[in-house]
Structure 1
Amino acid sequence: MTRNLELLVAGMAFDHLGKFGAWQFYTQFTPESVRELEELGYGAVWLGGSPPADWEGYEQLLAGSASITVATSIVNVWGTQPEAAADTWLRLEEKFPGRFLLGIGVGHREHTDAYTKPYDALTHYLDVLDAHGVPQHGRALAALGPRVAKLARERSAGALPYLTVPEHTAEVRGILGPDALLAVEHKVVLDTDADRARAAGRDKAGFYLGLINYVNNLRRFGFDETDLTQPGSDRFVDAVVAHGSAEQVADRLAEHVRAGANHVAPQIIGEDYRSALRTLAPLLAQRLN
């Protein structure tokens, strides 16, 4: 398939994703919750926490719903062999055409003893997916920096940034060009008490300030050591965690769309993610008009 045709097919798939999805740890999703999110108008569920490529839940989530996309965010290249990832994609594509997106990434050097030459490991992974027949529109890359964003443009459907700000979204869109997928995660606390919301957001987001790839990326957008030293400043928390009323949160998520994202996936902080997504659904739909 030529790259132009790949982009055409991918563009059709992006329409199916819709503008908003839901990002949660992969074991939090059930067939029932995914079906409800589909009915609420969310176009994709993003399975976080580095799910293994052979996780049996993919098929259960897809079988329990009708049209929503199930996507990994992300399968870690150090933890899952590319052959296994390819087998899973091909099997699910045959049973649920166009509904499974394989998100892959290199994870974090702090958590992986084998973390050497990550860019080379990622390109090798893509080579194996190519050899096993996984098309570019069937996979996407976790991308923060410009180099991997360019690789995402050239060899996948697009980029899946995590823990970013709308300014980063605009930068990545400029690298990807107009046709590639740009699906952005953003954390959410539905709470109008700013101190309480920041405390919840800091408890979740502050962890990532121990990971150098996120810290280096945020430095490029004006954050300094006073912001990025754990547990993180209020300025940091306010930037990466949308909090306040449902209307304020919806406005913040829509900033990524205006900055160039095809799709935004709120990650709800708190035990009852389904309730928060129910509240947000009609407000996010309004932001599309």
Structure 2
Amino acid sequence: MVLEVGRIGLWAAQRQWPTDVRTRTEIAVEVAAMGIPTLWIGGASGDLELPAAILDGTEGLSVGTSILNIWTEKADIVADHYAMLAKAHPDRLLLGFGVGHRALVEQATNRRWERPVEVLLDYLDTLDELGVPREDQALAALGPRVLEIASRRTAGALPYLVTPEHTRKARAVIGPDTLLAPEQKVVLETDPGRARATVRRSLAPYLAMPNYVNNLRRLGFTDDDLAGGGSDQMVDALVVWGDVDTVLARVAEHHAAGADHVAVQVLTDEPAGLPRAQWARLAEAINS
């Protein structure tokens, strides 16, 4: 049985969270009280320390890792910590895994980027051997090959930096029964200039990563779209900006295209901390 993630969750990078357990727990309790069913942890570490603080401090709130990098997070360590958390908090933890990005992986590990799909399959085999249930695993997947692996070997797919059109194409690949939970970036700002400036600051690192650039090309974006921090057309397609109703309309587009769940990442001009005020605004609208 796949854990219940609900229709909409909140995504934030681990680096945005405070380091002390007490404050982490207080924030998790705050999110649970908003009625949000799932928190997604970007760039999670294999010791699952942050998911543990969230799970230990709440009842019913689910946590997903988005993602655990298969090159840097050892499968046996992940499996050990998963087993402890799954026993204490059954059906509340979804482990998202991914191959990451060549330049970052080679810098972090001193390993050559060779046959990443084979490395991924070997990693999934190891998780099977270590007893991590497939229904508690998902994959960061953009292209057809990894989407197919996600549908065959795990509970689902976690596409990142995508459009509703990608969601539609991904659903066609994975079929009707596989969890599809794309991430959607949002900016709660109605001024076009300020909103797009915030978006471009966030997009800059991704536009230097071949995985994302290749996927954007598959979606029909051109060299002109990718230049200069991104065309207005591409910026607006990837990141929805405006008032709460505009943001939720884009989320609804993903659902209409086949998403089971949408992980909402709020972008601000202060990316170091969590956007708790914006989370509260979104939650109020979602639950109204």
User: TM-score of the superposition, structure 1-length normalised?
Assistant: 0.91
Matched to 2:7, the amino acid is: K
Q: Do the aligned partners of 1:149 and 1:159 also contact (CA within 8 Å) in 2?
A: yes
The superposition leaves residues 243-278 of structure 1 with CA deviations (integer Å, 9 ceiling, x where unpaired) of 011111111111111111111011111245111111
Partner in structure 2 of residue 123 of structure 1: 121
Q: Percent identity?
A: 44
Alpha-carbon distance, 1:106 to partner: 0.4
Rounded to whole Å, the distance in 2 between the matches of 1:24 and 1:163 is: 14
Rounded to whole Å, the distance in 1 between the matches of 2:51 and 2:6 is: 20
Rounded to whole Å, the distance in 2 between the matches of 1:67 and 1:22 is: 15
- 1:85-104 to structure 2, matched below 5 A, reads 85-104=78-97
Rounded to whole Å, the distance in 1 between the matches of 2:266 and 2:159 is: 16
Partner in structure 2 of residue 46 of structure 1: 40
- 1:171-186 to structure 2, matched below 5 A, reads 171-186=169-184
SS at match of 2:135: helix
Rounded to whole Å, the distance in 1 between the matches of 2:262 and 2:48 is: 24
Matched to 2:200, the amino acid is: R
Rounded to whole Å, the distance in 1 between the matches of 2:70 and 2:279 is: 30
Partner in structure 2 of residue 284 of structure 1: 286
Alpha-carbon distance, 1:282 to partner: 3.2
Matched to 1:133, the amino acid is: G
Rounded to whole Å, the distance in 1 between the matches of 2:33 and 2:15 is: 20
Alpha-carbon distance, 1:230 to partner: 4.4
Q: Do the aligned partners of 2:48 and 2:78 also contact (CA within 8 Å) in 1?
A: no
Partner in structure 2 of residue 228 of structure 1: 226
Q: Do the aligned partners of 1:207 and 1:231 also contact (CA within 8 Å) in 2?
A: no
User: TM-score of the superposition, structure 2-length normalised?
Assistant: 0.92
Matched to 1:66, the amino acid is: E
Q: How many equivalent residue pairs?
A: 273
Q: For structure 1, list consecutive stretches of 5 or more residues without a partner in the other structure.
A: 1-8
SS at match of 1:24: strand
SS at match of 1:79: coil
Partner in structure 1 of residue 20 of structure 2: none
Rounded to whole Å, the distance in 2 between the matches of 1:118 and 1:252 is: 32
Rounded to whole Å, the distance in 2 between the matches of 1:55 and 1:82 is: 12
Q: Which runs of 4+ in 1 moved over 4 A?
A: none
SS at match of 1:262: coil
Rounded to whole Å, the distance in 2 between the matches of 1:38 and 1:173 is: 29
Rounded to whole Å, the distance in 1 between the matches of 2:29 and 2:15 is: 15
Q: For structure 2, list consecutive stretches of 5 or more residues without a partner in the other structure.
A: 18-23
Rounded to whole Å, the distance in 2 between the matches of 1:31 and 1:175 is: 38
Partner in structure 2 of residue 210 of structure 1: 208
SS at match of 1:229: helix
- 1:19-34 to structure 2, matched below 5 A, reads 19-29=7-17, 30-34=24-28
Rounded to whole Å, the distance in 2 between the matches of 1:231 and 1:243 is: 16
Q: Do the aligned partners of 1:210 and 1:230 also contact (CA within 8 Å) in 2?
A: no
Partner in structure 1 of residue 21 of structure 2: none
Partner in structure 1 of residue 160 of structure 2: 162
Alpha-carbon distance, 1:57 to partner: 2.2
Partner in structure 2 of residue 71 of structure 1: 64
Rounded to whole Å, the distance in 2 between the matches of 1:240 and 1:181 is: 21
SS at match of 2:95: strand
**242-251 or 224-233, which deviates more:** 224-233
CA shift in 2, pair 1:220/1:278, >3 Å: same
Specify which of 274, 277, 287 is matched with residue 275 of structure 1.
Answer: 277
RMSD: 1.3
Alpha-carbon distance, 1:55 to partner: 3.9
Q: Do the aligned partners of 1:45 and 1:68 also contact (CA within 8 Å) in 2?
A: yes
Q: Do the aligned partners of 1:54 and 1:85 also contact (CA within 8 Å) in 2?
A: yes
Q: Do the aligned partners of 1:19 and 1:263 also contact (CA within 8 Å) in 2?
A: yes
